[in-house]
Amino acid sequence: MPSRVALVTGGASGIGRAVAAKLAKEGHRVAVADMDAEGGREAADEIGGAFLKVDLSNRDECRGLVGRAAAELGPVEILINNAGFQRVASIENFEEKWWDGMMAVMLTAPFLLTKHAWPSMKARGWGRVVNIASIHAQVASPHKVGYITAKHGLVGLTRTAALEGGEHGITVNAICPAYVRTPLVEGQIAEQAKVHGITQDEVVEKVMLAPAAVKRLIEPDEVAGLVAYLCSDSAGAVTGASWAIDLGWTAR
């Protein structure tokens, strides 16, 4: 497969960092986009890529990011919409400013980046968009209204873009993992252990992964492996799909 230009949002840590490293290992030129300048530069330096500092809650910065990546490495042919965050609260206690921020970063930003990467993909007759959704794009849990709403919307964006991109050689897919071993999740585990007075292993098995068949966290590299496949020529017939990496969560 020829070397392509890939843009990975939220690439400073966790899933995004693993994806950036995997795509670079596959021979692609990778732009790492993140608010975290220190972590982002470190991630980019490790793979010989470019770092682009960006605030994805800002529409103007979203519009400019694709052009900045193109100026550094060339027109974007692979787009990985990975950046996100969580706010845990009931609907009653969920603040409106949190809603606006979550929709901006996890739904509006993927739409804008896809929109602005689309013309160069279409002109080349080849493109790959992979949206990192969540198991919570397929099922719901209480106290995560903003996160779950955004992730469900991301699957809708995935399906619509797939239908529009097919005739132009552009595929669009979503990946829906359960809990992945990231700094964010590890912090949640430690907090839950204190709240419930149990060990961190018990939090993973009995609280976080109670619906799952496999009682362990997913490793970022496992998600990155699926991303790499979906970005390959071998996955040219795969589009509009929501790929569950959920430890058997939705098998019930």
Write b or e for each residue in 232-244: b if 16 or more Cβ atoms lie within 10 A of its Cβ, otherwise e: eeebeebbbbbbb
Q: What's the CA gap between 134 and 143, in Å, rounded?
A: 15
- From the list 15, 51, 57, 24, the residue with the least C-alpha distance to 36 is 51
How much is the pLDDT for 193? 83
Q: With helix as H, strand as E and coil as C, how does 78-120 read?
A: EEEECCCCCCCECCCCCCHHHHHHHHHHHHHHHHHHHHHHHHH
Q: Which residues pair with 130 in a beta bridge?
A: 80, 173
How much is the pLDDT for 17? 98
CA angle at 195 for the pair 189 and 197, rounded to the nearest 5°: 90
pTM greater than 0.85: yes
Q: How many CB atoms lie within 10 A of CB 149?
A: 18
- Active site members: 147
- Tell me if 52 sits within 8 A of 74, measured CB to CB: no
Place of tokens 């979503």: 174
Per-residue pLDDT of the chain (252 residues; tens, 9 = 90+): 789 999 999 999 999 999 999 999 999 999 999 999 999 999 999 999 999 999 999 999 999 999 999 999 999 999 999 999 888 889 999 999 999 999 999 999 999 999 999 999 999 999 999 999 999 999 998 888 999 999 999 999 999 999 999 999 999 999 999 999 998 888 888 888 887 899 998 888 888 899 999 999 999 999 999 999 999 999 999 999 999 999 999 998
